[in-house]
Amino acid sequence: MIKHTLFAAALAALALPASAQDYQAAMTDYLSASIANWASDEVIVAAIMAANAERAGLTQADIDAMDKAWRAEAGGGSGPTIDPVMQNAAAEFLRKQAAASGGLISEAFVTDSHGLNVAASDVTSDMWQGDEEKHSKTYSVGPDATFVSEIEFDESSQTYQGQVSMTIVDPATGAPIGAITVGLDVESL
Protein backbone atom coordinates (compact mmCIF):
# COMPACT_ATOMS: atom_id res chain seq x y z
CA MET A 1 0.00 0.00 0.00
CA ILE A 2 2.78 2.44 0.89
CA LYS A 3 4.70 1.66 -2.32
CA HIS A 4 1.51 2.18 -4.39
CA THR A 5 0.85 5.54 -2.69
CA LEU A 6 4.46 6.67 -3.20
CA PHE A 7 4.33 5.65 -6.86
CA ALA A 8 1.04 7.53 -7.38
CA ALA A 9 2.47 10.61 -5.66
CA ALA A 10 5.60 10.46 -7.80
CA LEU A 11 3.54 10.27 -10.98
CA ALA A 12 1.36 13.17 -9.87
CA ALA A 13 4.46 15.24 -9.12
CA LEU A 14 5.60 14.96 -12.71
CA ALA A 15 2.90 17.51 -13.72
CA LEU A 16 2.35 15.75 -17.01
CA PRO A 17 -0.56 16.26 -19.42
CA ALA A 18 -3.91 15.09 -18.11
CA SER A 19 -4.37 11.98 -20.21
CA ALA A 20 -2.67 9.44 -22.42
CA GLN A 21 -4.28 11.15 -25.42
CA ASP A 22 -2.51 14.39 -24.43
CA TYR A 23 0.83 12.57 -24.39
CA GLN A 24 0.13 10.89 -27.69
CA ALA A 25 -0.94 14.17 -29.32
CA ALA A 26 2.06 16.12 -28.01
CA MET A 27 4.51 13.41 -29.07
CA THR A 28 2.88 13.05 -32.49
CA ASP A 29 3.01 16.84 -32.98
CA TYR A 30 6.71 16.88 -32.09
CA LEU A 31 7.37 14.00 -34.48
CA SER A 32 5.62 15.84 -37.33
CA ALA A 33 6.93 19.33 -36.60
CA SER A 34 10.52 18.56 -35.70
CA ILE A 35 11.82 15.01 -36.04
CA ALA A 36 10.37 14.39 -39.51
CA ASN A 37 12.34 17.41 -40.77
CA TRP A 38 15.75 15.98 -39.88
CA ALA A 39 15.09 12.21 -39.78
CA SER A 40 15.66 11.84 -43.50
CA ASP A 41 18.90 13.84 -43.58
CA GLU A 42 21.36 12.38 -46.06
CA VAL A 43 23.82 11.35 -43.29
CA ILE A 44 21.08 9.20 -41.70
CA VAL A 45 19.94 7.72 -45.02
CA ALA A 46 23.52 6.95 -46.11
CA ALA A 47 24.29 5.20 -42.80
CA ILE A 48 21.18 3.02 -43.02
CA MET A 49 21.78 2.13 -46.66
CA ALA A 50 25.40 1.18 -45.92
CA ALA A 51 24.32 -0.99 -42.98
CA ASN A 52 21.64 -2.68 -45.10
CA ALA A 53 24.22 -3.54 -47.75
CA GLU A 54 26.76 -4.77 -45.17
CA ARG A 55 24.21 -6.81 -43.22
CA ALA A 56 22.14 -8.16 -46.12
CA GLY A 57 23.04 -11.80 -45.51
CA LEU A 58 22.55 -11.91 -41.74
CA THR A 59 20.59 -14.82 -40.30
CA GLN A 60 18.49 -14.66 -37.16
CA ALA A 61 21.33 -16.46 -35.36
CA ASP A 62 23.73 -13.69 -36.47
CA ILE A 63 21.31 -11.03 -35.25
CA ASP A 64 20.88 -12.79 -31.91
CA ALA A 65 24.67 -13.03 -31.50
CA MET A 66 25.09 -9.32 -32.23
CA ASP A 67 22.36 -8.45 -29.74
CA LYS A 68 23.94 -10.69 -27.09
CA ALA A 69 27.35 -9.08 -27.63
CA TRP A 70 25.81 -5.59 -27.42
CA ARG A 71 24.07 -6.40 -24.14
CA ALA A 72 27.34 -7.71 -22.69
CA GLU A 73 29.14 -4.48 -23.69
CA ALA A 74 26.33 -2.06 -22.74
CA GLY A 75 27.31 -1.80 -19.07
CA GLY A 76 30.74 -0.47 -20.04
CA GLY A 77 29.38 1.81 -22.75
CA SER A 78 31.70 0.61 -25.46
CA GLY A 79 33.15 -2.41 -27.18
CA PRO A 80 33.57 -3.90 -30.64
CA THR A 81 29.80 -4.16 -31.22
CA ILE A 82 28.80 -0.81 -29.72
CA ASP A 83 31.63 1.44 -30.96
CA PRO A 84 30.76 1.35 -34.69
CA VAL A 85 27.19 2.40 -33.85
CA MET A 86 28.25 5.17 -31.48
CA GLN A 87 31.21 6.52 -33.43
CA ASN A 88 29.94 7.50 -36.86
CA ALA A 89 28.67 10.63 -38.59
CA ALA A 90 25.01 9.65 -38.17
CA ALA A 91 25.47 9.13 -34.41
CA GLU A 92 27.10 12.54 -34.14
CA PHE A 93 24.18 14.03 -36.09
CA LEU A 94 21.72 12.42 -33.64
CA ARG A 95 23.69 13.73 -30.64
CA LYS A 96 23.53 17.26 -32.12
CA GLN A 97 19.75 16.96 -32.58
CA ALA A 98 19.36 15.76 -28.99
CA ALA A 99 21.54 18.60 -27.66
CA ALA A 100 19.57 21.17 -29.68
CA SER A 101 16.29 19.92 -28.17
CA GLY A 102 17.06 21.46 -24.79
CA GLY A 103 16.58 18.19 -22.91
CA LEU A 104 13.41 17.08 -24.66
CA ILE A 105 15.17 14.30 -26.61
CA SER A 106 16.51 11.73 -24.17
CA GLU A 107 17.81 9.40 -26.88
CA ALA A 108 17.68 8.91 -30.62
CA PHE A 109 18.69 5.95 -32.75
CA VAL A 110 18.25 4.65 -36.26
CA THR A 111 17.91 1.04 -37.30
CA ASP A 112 18.39 -0.91 -40.50
CA SER A 113 15.99 -3.23 -42.30
CA HIS A 114 16.63 -5.96 -39.70
CA GLY A 115 15.92 -3.59 -36.82
CA LEU A 116 19.58 -3.51 -35.76
CA ASN A 117 21.05 -0.24 -34.46
CA VAL A 118 22.98 1.73 -37.08
CA ALA A 119 23.61 4.96 -35.14
CA ALA A 120 22.61 6.17 -31.69
CA SER A 121 22.95 9.27 -29.57
CA ASP A 122 23.36 7.11 -26.46
CA VAL A 123 23.98 3.43 -25.80
CA THR A 124 20.67 1.56 -25.89
CA SER A 125 19.97 -1.43 -23.67
CA ASP A 126 19.96 -3.77 -26.69
CA MET A 127 21.01 -3.68 -30.33
CA TRP A 128 18.13 -5.51 -31.96
CA GLN A 129 14.93 -3.47 -32.08
CA GLY A 130 13.41 -5.72 -34.76
CA ASP A 131 11.36 -7.64 -32.21
CA GLU A 132 9.75 -4.47 -30.83
CA GLU A 133 6.83 -2.29 -31.94
CA LYS A 134 9.15 0.60 -32.82
CA HIS A 135 10.25 -1.56 -35.78
CA SER A 136 7.22 -3.75 -36.45
CA LYS A 137 4.85 -0.75 -36.58
CA THR A 138 7.12 1.43 -38.73
CA TYR A 139 9.58 -0.22 -41.11
CA SER A 140 7.46 -3.36 -41.39
CA VAL A 141 4.32 -1.33 -42.19
CA GLY A 142 5.71 0.93 -44.90
CA PRO A 143 6.91 4.37 -45.96
CA ASP A 144 4.54 6.66 -44.03
CA ALA A 145 4.25 4.62 -40.85
CA THR A 146 4.70 6.19 -37.43
CA PHE A 147 4.40 4.75 -33.95
CA VAL A 148 3.98 6.49 -30.58
CA SER A 149 4.64 4.38 -27.50
CA GLU A 150 3.19 4.52 -24.03
CA ILE A 151 5.04 6.51 -21.35
CA GLU A 152 7.40 4.38 -19.27
CA PHE A 153 10.65 4.50 -17.36
CA ASP A 154 13.51 3.84 -19.76
CA GLU A 155 16.52 2.11 -18.20
CA SER A 156 18.99 3.17 -20.89
CA SER A 157 18.18 6.90 -20.66
CA GLN A 158 17.05 6.90 -16.98
CA THR A 159 14.00 9.05 -17.79
CA TYR A 160 10.26 8.72 -18.02
CA GLN A 161 9.79 8.83 -21.71
CA GLY A 162 7.65 8.03 -24.62
CA GLN A 163 9.17 7.00 -27.90
CA VAL A 164 8.16 8.21 -31.32
CA SER A 165 9.25 6.18 -34.32
CA MET A 166 8.89 6.52 -38.05
CA THR A 167 9.99 4.70 -41.17
CA ILE A 168 13.00 6.08 -43.04
CA VAL A 169 12.81 5.75 -46.82
CA ASP A 170 15.21 5.77 -49.73
CA PRO A 171 14.65 9.26 -51.21
CA ALA A 172 15.22 7.92 -54.73
CA THR A 173 12.66 5.11 -54.58
CA GLY A 174 10.43 5.83 -51.59
CA ALA A 175 11.04 2.29 -50.34
CA PRO A 176 11.47 1.70 -46.59
CA ILE A 177 15.12 1.22 -45.58
CA GLY A 178 14.97 1.47 -41.79
CA ALA A 179 13.47 3.45 -38.94
CA ILE A 180 14.24 6.16 -36.43
CA THR A 181 13.18 6.13 -32.80
CA VAL A 182 13.40 9.19 -30.59
CA GLY A 183 12.86 9.07 -26.86
CA LEU A 184 11.06 12.14 -25.56
CA ASP A 185 11.49 13.09 -21.91
CA VAL A 186 7.88 13.66 -20.93
CA GLU A 187 8.91 15.88 -18.04
CA SER A 188 10.29 18.28 -20.69
CA LEU A 189 7.44 17.77 -23.16
- Runs of H (alpha helix) within the chain: 2-13, 20-30, 36-38, 42-54, 60-74, 83-86, 89-100, 133-136
- How far is residue 33 from each of residues 10, 29, 168, measured CA to CA in Å? 30, 6, 16
Note whether residue 9 is domain-resident: no
Give the model's confidence band at 122: pLDDT under 50 very low, under 70 low, under 90 confident, else very high: very high
Domain containing residue 60: 18-185
Task: Count helices and strands (H / E) in the chain.
Answer: 8, 6
pTM metric for this prediction: 0.86
In a domain, 55, yes or no: yes
Q: What is the pLDDT of residues 19-66, one digit of tens each?
A: 556 788 888 899 988 999 998 999 999 999 999 999 999 999 999 999
HSE-CB at 60 with a 13 A cutoff on CA atoms is 2
Domain assignment of residue 13, yes or no: no
CATH of the domain at 102: 3.30.450.20
How far, in Å, CA of 107 to CA of 98, rounded? 7
Check: CB of residue 133 under 8 Å from CB of residue 111. no
How many distinct structural domains can be found in the chain? 1
Q: Tell me, yes or no, whether 4 lies in a domain.
A: no
Q: Is the residue at 65 inside a domain?
A: yes
**57 or 12: which carries more pLDDT confidence?**
57
**Does 92 fall in a domain?**
yes
Mean pLDDT of the chain: 88
Q: Is pLDDT of 161 > 90?
A: no
pLDDT (0 to 100) of residue 188: 78
Angle, helices 89-100 vs 42-54, to 10°: value is 140
Would residue 123 count as lying in a domain?
yes
